[in-house]
Amino acid sequence: MGNIIDGKVISEKIKDQVKKELELLKSKGITPKLVAVSVGENPASIVYMNQQKKNCEKIGINYEILQLPENISEIELCDNIEKLNKNQDVTGIILQLPLPKGIDSRKVQSKIAPEKDVEGVNPSNMGWILYGRAIIGPCTALAVKEIIEYTGVNLYGKEVVMVGHSDIVGKPVALLLVDKFATVSICHIGTFDAGKLEEHVKRAEILIVAVGKANLIPGDWIKEGAIVIDVGINKVGDKIVGDVEFDKAKERASWITPVPGGVGPVTTAILLRNIVVLTKMQKGV
């Protein structure tokens, strides 16, 4: 049976480092401040923001919500972002998604100043990943990299299969791992529809799945000894499960993340780290 990766352990390690950085900032009279920009009322966003607020305040980061009306125009929303960009007290900005229909979220994200873009979603920060010179990046993608490093595996020449090609998870993960000289295949709906997902997954020495479909990956597809990182979050009845059939997969994997308790807590810690990294950059610390 494989080692089950406890995301909370990795998360605590990251948070310990964040605490040290916050003490350093505090000694210079600096407290990071994150502003979450929320448009309209979205129950999922409210839960998410309450969680962010709790995590930030617990560690010593100021947190504020800028609540904007549902009927705001794209231009007005961008103006609000610009104001936050110029506000010296604000060191981080998060744009809560989804935005109301008719607003181009990518366009609005591109207005967040790269040095305040704590989720790494501005095209500039994404571009630095492409160049192999990431300063920060999307939290979940960095969390996946962090977890893989935690296993101690040498990525050089390893067969990595990334299932899912979203802008914030699949694509940046693939780029981050290619830079470590892994051989990365990216699978998506086209791979699935062509009936080729199984053959790709079966040869993966490191498998990362970020799709959002419960049990998409049957446990018996996992290569013996593979590292399995399950990013997916799915509600099945009253249970939260990942995209991988965990009970069977853990018998074959050398390392595997559970859902919940795997990628999620690490992602949360990376957000805190991104806030501190960018605050330090802005304040020249």
Binding residue for ligand NAP, selected from 120, 164, 172, 219, defined by CB under 6 A: 164
Judge contact between 267 and 16, C-beta under 8 A: no
Please, what is the Cα angle at 194 between 165 and 144, to 5 degrees? 25
Interaction pattern, residues 49-88, with ligand NAP; x per rule: CB under 6 A: ----------------------------------------
Spatial neighbors of 167 by CB under 8 A, at least 6 apart, are 126, 138
Q: Which stretch binds ligand NAP (CB under 6 A): 119-127, 154-162, 186-194, 219-227?
A: 186-194
Tokens, residue 98:
């989804």
Binding residue for ligand NAP, selected from 137, 170, 172, 219, defined by CB under 6 A: 170
Q: What whole-number distance in Å separates Cα of residue 22 and Cα of residue 196? A: 47
Sheet holding 33-39, edge to edge: 62-68, 33-39, 92-95
Which residue lies nearer to ligand NAP by CB, 80 or 191? 191
Binding residue for ligand NAP, selected from 189, 218, 225, 251, defined by CB under 6 A: 189
By CB under 6 A, the count of residues binding ligand NAP is: 25
Q: How far is the CB of 233 from ligand NAP (least distance, A)?
A: 4
Q: Tell me which residue of 109, 114, 84, 111 sits closest to 95, measured CA to CA.
A: 109
Q: DSSP of 57-72, one letter per residue?
A: HHHT-EEEEEEE-TT-
Which residue lies nearer to ligand NAP by CB, 13 or 213? 213
Tokens, residue 268:
């949360």
Three-state DSSP at 263 gives helix
Q: Which stretch binds ligand NAP (CB under 6 A): 20-28, 95-103, 168-176, 245-253?
A: 168-176
Binding residue for ligand NAP, selected from 65, 126, 197, 249, defined by CB under 6 A: 197
In the range 131-160, which residues lie near ligand NAP by CB under 6 A? Answer: 140
Judge contact between 157 and 204, C-beta under 8 A: no
In the range 218-277, which residues lie near ligand NAP by CB under 6 A? Answer: 231-233, 263-264, 267
Tokens, residue 185:
């295949």
Which residue lies nearer to ligand NAP by CB, 168 or 175? 168
Tokens, residue 109:
């994200």
User: Is omega for the bond preceding 100 within 30 degrees of 0, making it cis?
Assistant: no
Q: How far is the CB of 31 from ligand NAP (least distance, A)?
A: 26
Which residue lies nearer to ligand NAP by CB, 38 or 140? 140
Judge contact between 37 and 66, C-beta under 8 A: yes
By CB under 6 A, tell whether 166 contacts ligand NAP: yes
Q: What whole-number distance in Å separates Cα of residue 10 and Cα of residue 31? A: 24
Which residue lies nearer to ligand NAP by CB, 35 or 141? 141
Q: How far is the CB of 164 from ligand NAP (least distance, A)?
A: 4
CA 70 from centroid of its chain's CA atoms: 26
Binding residue for ligand NAP, selected from 148, 162, 184, 210, defined by CB under 6 A: 210
Binding site for ligand NAP (CB under 6 A): 140, 163-166, 168-170, 187-189, 191-192, 197, 210-213, 216, 231-233, 263-264, 267
